[in-house]
Structure 1
């Protein structure tokens, strides 16, 4: 960066009257009036059914409670001492709340999606461990959708289509902050008990840890401390698995047994709070079904979008043809071209891989030749706008020319390799050259160690960016004003 650019960045960092955030969807950068930003957070925190204000910082009292819980688990041989050491955070950071503006809903006064920045907090490691326990179980539930590729695979397995099909999507309103603790915990306990992998003692410990994470979910906003008393915070590692567990329970209790669902629904696939369904019936029966499941639980409400011809789910636009579905990439109107710039300071291998990954994404999602060609041209233009040379784009296109469908591209398996992690800088290539030149010393000295048989794989930590310097979780403090009295 030049001196002028550095000075401009410092000036932006010092401006407390504006707050800079990425948008909730679309990749745009949003500059907000700080007073409006604070007002929106305070509006959400004023809901007494979700948040309560605490008298002070509860970190120390919560630390003592968690320590006793973990010590008991070690003494009871439920967890090892090394697991205790991993979960325990000796000097935890206080979580902070911030919001991501939903400019796709209102570009002038956007509502915010609340996120609790909990990295390094008291329960951050416990949430990570619990996520590793629950997530594999969630993946076995009936409606689970892992990602776009999984959704496309499910869609390809649908048989002969009928003109009577409706395409529809349901969305759960504010799912993360709507899950009651008791029902959410019971849903997770049900999954743990039914899987048969854990003893009753282990299940009780996992439930105890989950209860602690949910009931001690505190955070700070402008030197005030709050406790979330309903739902879970977006930002916690275990939040998606917890939400999926609850929704799986909700579906078993209230959806699959519904008479209209049994009669009309041919597919019900869910990605956390977004549902795709195929409905063999008219719009009236679908609306009645939506209304019926909206009254079975006071906190869980669905919104609905339906069409006879076209619908959007995740990043896929699905169109119903005579006998099959046509799919292509969907781009929201608020989306910005945030692809990595070719002139950015990144390894050349990373920049060369961007066109390949984006062209592969086009070929994976689009299933019609004309659509593939059209979307590839659009993607090529987007990459060109970010400075990618024609030669690099042509090389990327040639690599995906034989790609067809979600499961056709085979990854190049390199086997077990040592990963060399460092910060990327101008000397990284020379470091890699030195390592490769002398790697034979390790390979020849330790022939029995398989990971030494190939040179290391270079991996780079993410460095500081302009965005990371300007986007902060905490609201900038208002400059203090002093009154000076003259002699």
Structure 2
């Protein structure tokens, strides 16, 4: 009770001090305005001075009304936060945004923090002065004029010196929760595989699920030693030979040469919509030996797509044929087809990773997480679908594919026969079929409805796992990133939805996000 009284008295004193400071500031501004008005009246005619005064007064009144309306709206929102209806809505949102499958009991601050999402950027508590100075020096190194360098440095010093850390976008309770959760090794926090919710697992359960994945002898092989150094030396030899023969430049050589011994990292994302919450295997190859080379080759073959079960030997044969037929290849690179295939084969066969402190080799398919894998796989899938359709006993009247999702229109009596046919093209590429229900079928983020008249309409499709969570506006991201989220939602509604009434509803929903 005594502590509460002390807190109330402190709050009252702070509020009084804030009011006193505001009154003082207003007095200073008023005197400055009077001095400025006197100066203006001494330099212009009376009529012009009076007209200027009228314009300034109207502008002041307009700004006063806007400011007052903002404050009233802010007050109303603060009142709504204490209402039972909003509390219920917030509680329901927290249940959708935070899935706790651990033994740890989360408090309100921890739930509020985790509900912000794994893409939420916490505002820094101080200006990153060293990082800013480093960036300025890197930029100055590209300048040749010493005077210009000095001007840039002086301006940077001025800006950094006058800068202040941004206002915290976390409450004190949320900052404490972040520290507590970060130091609690008994739980592992991950984004869900789908739906953008945050999942809390017991670390022992997570490690067991990862171990179950890596124990699949048909997919992964445990290695006795780390092959990073071996791959690094092999790649160094390939790049040196290409550089010495002027097929890549010195700059490309140093860019592609691996500078670290980072091992690709294996982890899993929980599928909370499935029983027992299995993991989807993911590999992060950023910074690995083959990462820069894979990006380099990906730019050369310049396609898009993803299919992790792609048979590597078949895909490499298809890609070689495509490159040999590509008359524009010399416009994109000085490398020959053999050079590109050598680099691609090296990336495709360097399929090792670290999981739970051990090194494993992926037995089949292109390396997960490599920038070139989606592109190479898509080339193979293009060949696959052409062959499947050309040899089909009954060709669908419509076939559209994006990555590994296809939308097919075919007579009902031919469905089983066609499914069997395409599943016999390759031993590793298998399709499953989902038929329409209630005259509608989802495809990516659209829902295609078949009308009684035979025509179709398209609406936005949201999976049952969808949580309506996007990038929060108070996240410490550039404003353009946040506006980009809104533009994307609006663009989707305007470009995909076919009927105006539903389009209008979708746009209103986008604005509420």
- Which band: TM-score by shorter chain? 0.5 to 0.7
Picking from 288, 292, 315, the partner of 2:421 is 292
Q: Residues 400-439 of structure 1: CA distance to partner in whole angstroms, max 9, x if unpaired?
A: xxxxxxxxxxxxxxxxxxxxxxxxxxxxxxxxxxxxxxxx
Q: Residues 358-384 of structure 1: CA distance to partner in whole angstroms, max 9, x if unpaired?
A: 223211211101111222233334x2x
Shift of residue 237 of structure 1? 1.0
Query: Match of 2:227?
Result: 58
Give 1:172-251 correspondences, 5 Å limit. Answer: 175-176=307-308, 178-198=309-329, 202-251=336-385
For residues 88 and 34 of structure 1, the distance between their equivalents in structure 2, rounded to whole angstroms, comes to 36
Flag the 1:372–1:198 CA change in 2: closer, same or farther, 3 A.
Answer: closer
Contact conserved, 2:307 with 2:374, CA < 8 A, in 1? no
Give 1:333-482 correspondences, 5 Å limit. Answer: 333-348=464-479, 350-352=481-483, 354-381=485-512, 383=513
Contact conserved, 1:51 with 1:229, CA < 8 A, in 2? yes
Contact conserved, 2:348 with 2:373, CA < 8 A, in 1? no
Q: Which has the higher strand share?
A: 1
Contact conserved, 1:215 with 1:229, CA < 8 A, in 2? no
Contact conserved, 1:50 with 1:231, CA < 8 A, in 2? no
For residues 201 and 444 of structure 2, the distance between their equivalents in structure 1, rounded to whole angstroms, comes to 27
Q: How does the TM-score come out when normalised to structure 1?
A: 0.65
What secondary structure, in the 3-state scheme, does the structure 2 residue paired with 1:227 have? Answer: strand
Please list every run of 5 or more consecutive structure 2 residues that lacks an aligned counterpart in the other structure.
1-169
Aligned length: 339
Shift of residue 70 of structure 1? 1.0
What secondary structure, in the 3-state scheme, does the structure 1 residue paired with 2:336 have? Answer: helix
Query: Match of 1:135?
Result: 302
Flag the 1:254–1:358 CA change in 2: closer, same or farther, 3 A.
Answer: closer
Contact conserved, 1:115 with 1:233, CA < 8 A, in 2? no
Contact conserved, 1:243 with 1:272, CA < 8 A, in 2? no
For residues 481 and 307 of structure 2, the distance between their equivalents in structure 1, rounded to whole angstroms, comes to 36
Picking from 306, 315, 322, the partner of 2:445 is 315
Q: Which has the larger radius of gyration?
A: 2
For residues 26 and 320 of structure 1, the distance between their equivalents in structure 2, rounded to whole angstroms, comes to 27
Aligned Cα root-mean-square deviation (Å)? 2.3
Please list every run of 5 or more consecutive structure 1 residues that lacks an aligned counterpart in the other structure.
139-145, 147-173, 384-487
Q: Which has the higher helix share?
A: 2
For residues 426 and 488 of structure 2, the distance between their equivalents in structure 1, rounded to whole angstroms, comes to 42
What secondary structure, in the 3-state scheme, does the structure 2 residue paired with 1:303 have? Answer: coil
Picking from 184, 196, 209, the partner of 1:27 is 196
What secondary structure, in the 3-state scheme, does the structure 2 residue paired with 1:312 have? Answer: strand
Flag the 1:315–1:201 CA change in 2: closer, same or farther, 3 A.
Answer: same
Query: Match of 1:48?
Result: 217
Contact conserved, 2:248 with 2:335, CA < 8 A, in 1? no
Flag the 1:356–1:65 CA change in 2: closer, same or farther, 3 A.
Answer: closer
For residues 65 and 366 of structure 1, the distance between their equivalents in structure 2, rounded to whole angstroms, comes to 52
Shift of residue 23 of structure 1? 1.3
